[in-house]
Amino acid sequence: MQQLTGLDAAFLAMETRTTYGHIGSVIVLDAANAKERLTLDRLIEHTESRLHLLPPYRRRLLRVPLDLDQPYWIDDADFDIEFHVRELALPKPGNDAQLADQVARLHARPLDRSRPLWETYLIHGLSGGRLAVYTKIHHAAIDGVSGNEILTALLDVSPDGRDVGEPGEWSPGHRPSTAGLLARSALSLSAQPVRAIRFAGALVKSLPTLATAPGRPRVPVIDRFVLDQVAPREGSEVLQRTGLRAPKTPFNRPITPHRRWGFASVSLDDVRTIRKAFPGMTVNDVAMAMCAGALRRYLIDHDALPDEPLVSAVPVSVRSEEESAALGNRVSMMFASLPTTEPDPLKRLFATHESMRGAKEQHQALPADLLSDVTQFAMPAVAARAAQLAARLRIVERVNPFNLIISNVPGPNVKLYLAGTPLLATYPVSAITDGQALNITLLGYLGQLHFGLLACREVVPDVDDLVGYLVDELETLVALSTESSQSSTSAAVQSGASS
């Protein structure tokens, strides 16, 4: 039995009729070169052989009476793997657009909270001799990094598999009594005042550093309660923001239960070409600049480009080395301005670099466990009601602290196999909420960056346009980087000849 943290439980509390707390991934497989044909039975057998490496797969939720404390993960005595692993087939021709539509429909279905919170679908009929496996699991159980740990348990670096040890006999743990749960809750609640004092002390200590961080983009709320009172500062005209809200965009509206999903892969070598052409640039800077350019073009198409830069929330892992294999959520949030007001692609790239540098400095000034500590104080009974009230009153849309979430999840750079079938690509399928109808997540694998864009079907029906603009933006930056490198080389040659 393991208790959820406040942050884990927050992903349960956020769920409403239109908002779901699960995240997912789609792995595309090369079925034509599989060691053994991947069938539903084969996938079930493979998954079952590794359940001892996948603790969340056999755990379900147990609520504390009256929701007085965070719930617990307990072993599911009635675990049935055939309920969780399923199959379906795409109609001909089985193209990527059909795969995206099917994944969007599957992702728009909430998970059954009476069972372990995950599902896997083997998808046949994909063109080009390919298969796809879509998996969704609740965010309460994993974050991006621990999600990779789940994939690591299921995947191998050889088509012959590996020795994962004997699973042994599994027997579900003892379910605690109601009296026992209430006693645990009383003990936990008694420690809340001490936690609050420690949290406040750590936050106060960080304010001077936060207020004076050079290059820090102005961020709603933080500027109001920190900068204006501690140390007002001047910043770049491109990045500086005023006011309490991110600018209004079509993305910041209430969402429906329906989803759109788009995906694309780009060459990591192309991204590195840009990075090498401009010293100090990072792969993440280039990826964020691609997003800024694509969003700018999309908003211009819809006559909705704001006069101020968009604000992106960027999840950041705060796992220590000791926590690297732990499940659950160990994440914080960083805020960065996206220079969508800048029409020049190269200037936009440099402005993105400066924005990310300032955002990192600001984030480092805050306690690493800030988000975890804040959510730890809310009882589930209160948090769930607050989430429902916020949705009803459209609080996030009205406050609008940021425009969208952009997440970069590190991935493996070695060839992987699922049950002997080569893995071609892996695409993220994240989550959206009311007031945040678009999410962009990318994952690196084997020399490519794989983008997955999730959106509300009614708010961003043409998410494929955004996907195409991301690819176009990279091509533009590669061409400009090549020109810059050639100009620098020519100038160096001429300088050497003249001397």
pTM: 0.84
Q: Interior CA angle at 192 toward 190 and 194, to 5°?
A: 100
374-385 pLDDT tens trace: 445 555 555 555
Of 197, 305, 178, the residue nearest 251 (C-alpha): 305
Secondary structure class of 350 (helix, strand, coil): helix
Of 150, 73, 148, the residue nearest 117 (C-alpha): 73
Q: Any idea what DSSP says for residue 36?
A: S
Which residues, 6 or more positions from 444, have their beta carbon under 8 angstroms from its beta carbon? Answer: 268, 409, 410, 411, 413, 450
Of 22, 46, 138, 139, catalytic: 139
Helix axes 463-498, 345-364, angle to 10 degrees: 100
Q: Which residue has the tokens 């070169």?
A: 33
- pLDDT per residue as tens, the chain (499 positions): 888 887 888 889 889 899 999 999 999 999 999 999 999 999 999 999 999 999 999 999 999 887 778 889 999 999 999 999 999 999 999 999 999 999 999 999 999 999 999 999 999 999 999 999 999 999 998 865 566 678 889 999 999 999 888 877 888 888 888 887 877 776 666 555 545 555 455 545 554 554 444 444 444 444 444 444 443 444 444 444 434 479 999 999 999 999 999 999 999 999 999 999 998 999 999 999 999 999 999 999 999 999 999 999 998 876 555 555 555 556 678 899 999 999 999 999 999 999 999 888 876 655 555 545 544 555 555 555 566 666 665 666 667 889 999 999 888 889 999 999 999 999 999 999 999 999 999 999 999 999 999 999 999 999 999 999 999 999 999 999 988 776 665 444 455 545 5
CATH of segment(s) 216-382+400-408+451-498: 3.30.559
Cα–Cα distance, 293 to 288 (Å, whole number): 9
Cα–Cα distance, 11 to 144 (Å, whole number): 14
Q: Are 115 and 19 in contact (CB under 8 A)?
A: no
The answer to whether residue 353 is catalytic is no
Of 245, 242, 263, the residue nearest 468 (C-alpha): 263
Q: Which residue has the tokens 């750590």?
A: 202
Residue 280 to residues 89, 272, 348, 349, Cα–Cα distance (Å)? 46, 12, 15, 12
The answer, yes or no, to whether the previous bond of 93 is cis (omega within 30 of 0) is yes
Domains of the chain by residue range: 216-382+400-408+451-498
Tokens standing for residue 329? 């959520």
| Sheet containing strand 438-445, strands side by side | 259-267, 448-456, 438-445, 404-409, 310-317, 331-338
